Amino acid sequence: MPHIDLFQFFRFWLGWVVTIYATILTLQSLYGWYIWLAGEDKYISLLRRYILVQGLRLRFKTFWGDVLVCALLTMAFCILWRAHHVMYDLKVALESTR
């Protein structure tokens, strides 16, 4: 009987399911917006330009701190991921020596 670590199993499948679900929803939403905004109507054209202007007028001062924290947390997450792999390698090495 194969040895299954429930904690690992939960993490692995949760990661995959959530990633796929979020990706599909995001792509669906983006496609819907693209189709809507690609219309030929003059009001849609106006809206396109308006959205562009709103994007250019975005004030980064109001949330740049959070963006910085997000970038640092992403780096920390990647380091922890790498640490997990190191730990698994250690585990395999130790088990092989015993």
Contacts to another protein by CB under 8 A: 7, 11, 54, 57-59, 62-63, 66-67, 69-70, 73-74, 76-77, 80-81, 83-84, 87-88, 90-91, 94, 98
Nearer Cβ to another protein, position 7 or 40? 7
Which string of DSSP letters, residue by residue, matches 34-56? HHHHT---HHHHHHHHHHHHHHH
Residue closer to another protein by CB (options 42, 85) is 85
Nearer to another protein, 40 or 60 (CB): 60
d(CA 83, CA 51): 42
Q: Write down the least CB distance from residue 9 to another protein, Å.
A: 13
Q: Is there a contact between 38 and 30 (Cβ–Cβ < 8 Å)?
A: no
CB of 95 to another protein, least distance (A): 8
Shorter beta-carbon distance to another protein: residue 40 or 43? 43
Q: Residues 6 or more apart from 37 whose CB is under 8 A from it?
A: 44, 47, 48, 51
As measured in angstroms, the least distance from the Cβ of 96 to another protein is: 13
Of 34, 30, 29, the residue nearest 44 (C-alpha): 34
